[in-house]
Structures are given as C-alpha cells and as structure tokens.
Amino acid sequence: MEEITITILEKPKLKDPILIEGLPGIGLVGKLAADHLLDELKAKKIAELYSHNLPPQVMIQEDGTIKLVDMEFYYHKGKKNDIILLVGDFQGITPDGQYRLAEKTIEIAKAWKVKRIYTLGGLGTGNLTKNPRVFGAATDKKIVKELSKANIYFKGGGAILGASGLLIGLGMQQGIEGVCLMGETHGQIIDAKSAEAVLGVLTSILGFKVDMAALVEKAKDTEEQMTKIGQMIAATQQAEEQQKRFLSESPSYIR
C-alpha cells in the first residue's frame, strides 16, 4: 500500500466549490456538524483516501463486515456554490502524518479548483455553557471583516491543532482562502449543542438551510451531560468546602 492512496469514484463538474472539513476533534463538534450536514444534503461520495498515516485498524460495520479506516469526500450541488465535504472517523496519528494528509487534501482541493476552505471544530474552555458561541479564525483580514457580521467572534491568541488548522494554513500558502469555525465547548463531552451552533453559523454564511431536528435531539443529550457534570462539580466543591471547614474547626495538637 502506498503512503496515501486516493480512489476517485466520480468526476462531476463542480461550480465554484467550497471544501468543508469535519473530522474528529475537541468535543467531536466538527464531526457532528459535518456528519449531520452530509445526511441532510444527501451528498454523494466522490473519493476515498487511504493512508498508513491513519490508525492501523478496520471498522466493523452494522452488517458485520469490515471497512478499512479512511477519509471520505462527498459533494453536493448548491445554488451558488457546490460543496465538498471531508469526513472521517480519525485524523493522522502523528504530526508528520497530519501534515502529509493535509498536503494531499490541499492537492485534491486545488484539482477541484476550490477557492475557500471551511474547517469545523471545537474550542475547549473547560466551562459549561448552554448557549455556546462560535469563534473564528481566517487567513485574511478581509474575511475576518466579512464574517464578523455573521455572529462569529474573532479574537487573537491560541492555536488551532490538527486538520482544522493545517488545512487552512497550508491552503493559504497555495492561494486558497480559509476559515475555521470553532464552537465553544467544555472539551470533555461530546457536544452536539456546540455542533448545532457551528452548523447554524456555517449554513447562514453559505446561504442555505438544513433541518436541525436530529441534531437538536442529540443536543438534548449534551444538555443532560452538562447538567450531570454541573451537579458533580457542585457536589465536589461542597465536599471540599465541608472538609476545609472541618479542618479549620478541628483542634490541633502539638506534641
């Protein structure tokens, strides 16, 4: 097997395509958003990417058959722009592998004449929030200005790890515009509510709507998780306060 193998399944004519990446990351925010978009648009698979830079395993499917780990590209014909979706169950397992996969993805994007890339992910804050904000980073000041009106918060500092950062960074070197949309999330839970916020902003930018019902249902699970975590944190803090009080009130002895 070559280091990276691309299997092209279809060669449609694409109109001003936009690439949207939604691979697993913090809170699975990007993956949940992209997978939901894939289902709602009923996008067609266009290509498969196999690589030994992905985890050395196969996935057992619903019917009991196995599937080699890969990354997959789908397309959807839009009114203004056609959409290419990059989805998968894993990212590269090493920094070098991350770079190689991102470089190959940019190579494919250029072949399809992609002009802009949107990467989707989570921004881990360690805090619980029921109304997650969407933060952004872009490859050019004019894009920041353009999207600041779309309820996206742009602020300096920090880093974007993995595919979400590399794709827009390497794409910028090849003349492709890039935007990363990051949903505010705790970081330790699968956050469908944050994914809903990210997808809502993305579809607003691109000028189309998708049914959010299924994602909203998943978001309810997130809220339940957040409630339980909040109760656990509160109980832990209460226990710590009681212990501190006990220690401060207990008599001390010097021997």
What's the CA dihedral at 122, 124, 126, 129 to 10 degrees? -30
Whole-number pLDDT of residue 217: 79
**143-157 residue pLDDT tens:** 999 998 888 999 888
pLDDT-derived band at 254 (thresholds 50, 70, 90) equals very low
Find tokens 């602020």 and name the residue.
155
Location of structure tokens 């003349």: 175
42-51, 60-69, 201-210, 239-248, range with the lowest pLDDT? 239-248
Q: How confident is the model at residue 243 (pLDDT cuts 50, 70, 90)?
A: low
Residue 22: closest CA among 69, 68, 72, 67: 72
The more confident residue out of 140 and 128 is: 140
Read off the pLDDT of each residue in 199-222 and give the average, rounded to a whole number.
85
Q: Closest Cα to residue 33, out of 128, 118, 114? A: 118
In this model, does residue 250 exceed pLDDT 80? no
Residue 226 has pLDDT above 60, yes or no: no
Residue 252: both structure tokens together: 């001390």
User: pTM for this structure?
Assistant: 0.85
pLDDT tens, residue by residue, 66-107: 999 999 999 999 888 999 999 998 999 999 999 999 999 999
Average pLDDT, the chain: 88
Residue 226 amino acid letter: M
Question: What is d(CA 111, CA 182) in angstroms, rounded to the nearest whole number?
Answer: 27
**What structural domains and CATH numbers belong to the chain?**
4-238 (3.40.50.10900)
Decide which of 186 and 1 is more confident. 186
Residue 222 pLDDT class (50, 70, 90 cuts): low
